[in-house]
């Protein structure tokens, strides 16, 4: 294998390049990215970077020297097409780059709110450093801030915006896609305590204004004054290259347990990849740093000839208003939950069970529980309800 070419210089693309070198790969490693500057991580964008407590240095994944030292070629530019017969990619500027193995690490783009007025000035989404820079500046003069979407991004933005905001969420609770009702309720109380207004079960019908947003119209016709609207309603995987190259695509680039696409010379990793997830028991696309980093490592292992089926445990985190939520496992389909710890003092964990087996643990301000949960999930088989019950639902005692 001579040249591995990676499209997308984000968390997972960077991870593939560095993992290849860690594994002793001595061919060419080429990383092509369409964002300005060095590869960076996104989590601080909706946390410390937004609040102004973290700067460029905290975003950067590695300093410039690192890439030269590791022999990772960084090429700025946007890949316009993949020529599978010729085993090369073509950039917007017409230049072509050949590969022996290609990795698609193209990430995702923010979903646009499908209502009138979604492109008015003053309406923002948050995905890139450029988005965060523009938002930070806009926040300085904004008076009425409305957040559409009560998921991770919307809530982290609210938590770090430094002023009371109104959060509009279509579901009947916050973070409904990823958290249990117990955790949703805790974070709703936290945000209300910080002065935010939460409107649940409310759709947005339109964003109103002449050129610039001045009001958010809700589904019931009521109007909220707004001069800054942050839309956080999820993402779409970036699959155009794969589709046009004739690869299988379905809610992401479809890959097998070795993260190979329908063309064995092409892998896909991170937010753009739809993979057979052992923990979910179905094909899944995950959007997290853990998923990006672990899949990058696994794809590099396949390329260097040490393939192992990808089965890393999914885990997530979010920081809001001094509370750290860590989630280990996949909660989908869980039918039973048990709360341990002390909700009143804001230190508790929620254990979720599917068919009597532990499938997910959400820990609020209880990092030791999160670590114990990850160890428990690594054990084979995962603990059953009765085992945990016998240990008073103490995760550490169960693992010991």
CA distance 275 to 45: 27
The residues with which 97 forms a beta bridge, in sequence order, are: 89
* Nearby residues of 91 by Cβ (< 8 Å), 6 or more positions away: 32, 75, 77, 78, 79, 80, 97
Please pick, from the candidates 4, 38, 45, 233, the single residue that binds ligand FAD as defined by CB under 6 A: 45
Segment 126 to 145, residues that bind ligand FAD, using CB under 6 A: 126-127
| Residue 328 tokens, joined | 């280990």
Task: Give the H/E segment covering residue 192.
Answer: helix 181-193
Please pick, from the candidates 4, 7, 82, 395, the single residue that binds ligand FAD as defined by CB under 6 A: 7
Instruction: Examine residue 125 and tell whether it contacts ligand FAD (CB under 6 A).
Output: no
Nearer to ligand FAD, 156 or 217 (CB): 156
Instruction: Examine residue 12 and tell whether it contacts ligand FAD (CB under 6 A).
Output: yes
Give min distance, CB of 42 to ligand FAD, in A.
3
Give min distance, CB of 203 to ligand FAD, in A.
23
Instruction: Examine residue 173 and tell whether it contacts ligand FAD (CB under 6 A).
Output: no
In Å, how far from its chain's centre is CA 274? Answer: 14
Among 66-74, 216-224, 311-319, 369-377, which window interacts with ligand FAD (CB under 6 A)? 311-319
Among 30-38, 66-74, 171-179, 258-266, which window interacts with ligand FAD (CB under 6 A)? 30-38
Instruction: Examine residue 287 and tell whether it contacts ligand FAD (CB under 6 A).
Output: yes
Instruction: Examine residue 299 and tell whether it contacts ligand FAD (CB under 6 A).
Output: no
Task: Provide the 8-state DSSP code for 111.
Answer: P
Size of the site for ligand FAD (CB under 6 A): 37
Nearer to ligand FAD, 20 or 292 (CB): 292
Listed residue (252, 370, 354) closest to 313, CA to CA = 370
Please pick, from the candidates 5, 13, 227, 326, the single residue that binds ligand FAD as defined by CB under 6 A: 13
Please pick, from the candidates 1, 289, 323, 339, the single residue that binds ligand FAD as defined by CB under 6 A: 289
Whether the Cβ atoms of residue 194 and residue 159 lie closer than 8 Å to each other: yes
Residue with tokens 């079960």: 201
Going edge to edge, which strands form the sheet with 228-231?
Answer: 123-124, 228-231, 145-148, 166-169, 197-200
Binding mask of the shown chain, residues 187 to 226, with x at each position contacting ligand FAD by CB under 6 A: ----------------------------------------
**Rounded to 5 degrees, what are φ and ψ at 91?**
-90, 170
Residue with tokens 């839309």: 231
Give min distance, CB of 241 to ligand FAD, in A.
6
Binding mask of the shown chain, residues 235 to 264, with x at each position contacting ligand FAD by CB under 6 A: ---x--x-----------------------
Listed residue (92, 77, 65) closest to 30, CA to CA = 77
| Residue 92 tokens, joined | 């917007």
Please pick, from the candidates 43, 150, 151, 341, the single residue that binds ligand FAD as defined by CB under 6 A: 43
Question: Residue 61: left if φ>0, alpha if ψ -120 to 50, beta else—which one?
Answer: alpha
Listed residue (332, 104, 364, 138) closest to 240, CA to CA = 104
Q: How crowded is residue 91: how many other Cβ atoms within 10 Å of its Cβ?
A: 18
Among 105-113, 196-204, 321-329, 355-363, which window interacts with ligand FAD (CB under 6 A)? 105-113
Binding mask of the shown chain, residues 263 to 282, with x at each position contacting ligand FAD by CB under 6 A: -------xxx----------
Please pick, from the candidates 5, 10, 117, 123, the single residue that binds ligand FAD as defined by CB under 6 A: 10
Q: Residue 267 class from Cβ within 10 Å (0-12 exposed, 13-18 middle, 19+ buried)?
A: buried
Nearer to ligand FAD, 285 or 383 (CB): 285
Looking at beta carbons, which residue is closest to ligand FAD?
Answer: 10
Task: Give the H/E segment covering residue 110.
Answer: strand 108-110
Please pick, from the candidates 317, 385, 393, 399, the single residue that binds ligand FAD as defined by CB under 6 A: 317
Torsional sign, CA 101, 287, 12, 349? negative
Q: Which residues bind ligand FAD (CB under 6 A)?
A: 7-13, 32-35, 42-43, 45-46, 78-79, 105-108, 126-127, 153, 238, 241, 270-272, 287-290, 292, 316-318
């Amino acid at each position: 294998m001579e040249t591995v070419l990676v499209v997308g210089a984000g968390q997972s693309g960077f991870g593939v390049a560095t993992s290849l070198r860690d594994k002793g790969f001595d061919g060419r490693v080429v990383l092509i990215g369409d964002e300005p500057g060095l590869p960076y991580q996104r989590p601080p964008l909706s946390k410390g970077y937004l609040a102004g407590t973290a700067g460029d240095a905290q975003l950067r994944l590695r300093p410039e020297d690192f890439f030269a030292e590791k022999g990772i070629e960084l090429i700025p530019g946007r890949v316009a097409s993949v020529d599978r017969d010729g085993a090369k990619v073509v950039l917007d500027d017409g230049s072509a780059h050949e590969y022996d193995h290609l990795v698609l690490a193209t990430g995702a783009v923010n979903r646009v709110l499908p209502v009138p007025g979604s492109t008015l000035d003053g309406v923002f989404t948050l995905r890139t450093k450029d988005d965060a820079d523009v938002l930070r500046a806009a926040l300085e003069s904004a008076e009425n801030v409305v957040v559409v979407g009560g998921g991770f991004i919307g809530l982290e933005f609210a938590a770090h915006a430094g002023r009371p905001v109104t959060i509009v969420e279509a579901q009947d609770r916050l973070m409904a896609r990823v958290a249990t009702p117990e955790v949703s309720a805790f974070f709703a109380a936290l945000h209300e305590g910080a002065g935010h207004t939460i409107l649940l079960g409310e759709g947005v019908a339109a964003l109103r204004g002449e050129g610039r947003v001045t009001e958010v119209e809700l589904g019931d016709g009521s109007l909220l004054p707004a001069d800054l609207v942050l839309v956080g309603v999820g993402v779409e995987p970036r699959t155009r290259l794969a589709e046009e190259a004739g690869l299988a695509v379905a809610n992401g680039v479809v890959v097998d347990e070795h993260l190979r696409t329908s063309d064995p010379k092409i892998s896909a990793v991170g937010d753009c990849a739809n993979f057979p997830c052992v923990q979910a028991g179905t094909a899944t696309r995950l959007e997290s740093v853990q998923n990006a980093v672990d899949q990058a490592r696994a794809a590099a292992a396949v390329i260097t000839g040490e393939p192992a089926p990808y089965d890393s445990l999914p885990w997530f985190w979010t920081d809001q208003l001094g509370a750290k939520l860590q989630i280990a496992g996949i909660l989908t389909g869980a039918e039973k939950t048990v709360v341990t710890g002390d909700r009143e003092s804001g230190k508790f964990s929620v254990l979720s069970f599917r068919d009597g087996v532990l499938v997910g643990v959400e820990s609020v301000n209880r990092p030791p529980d999160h670590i114990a949960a990850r160890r428990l999930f690594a054990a084979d088989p995962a603990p059953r309800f009765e085992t945990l019950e016998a240990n008073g639902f103490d995760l550490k005692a169960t693992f010991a």
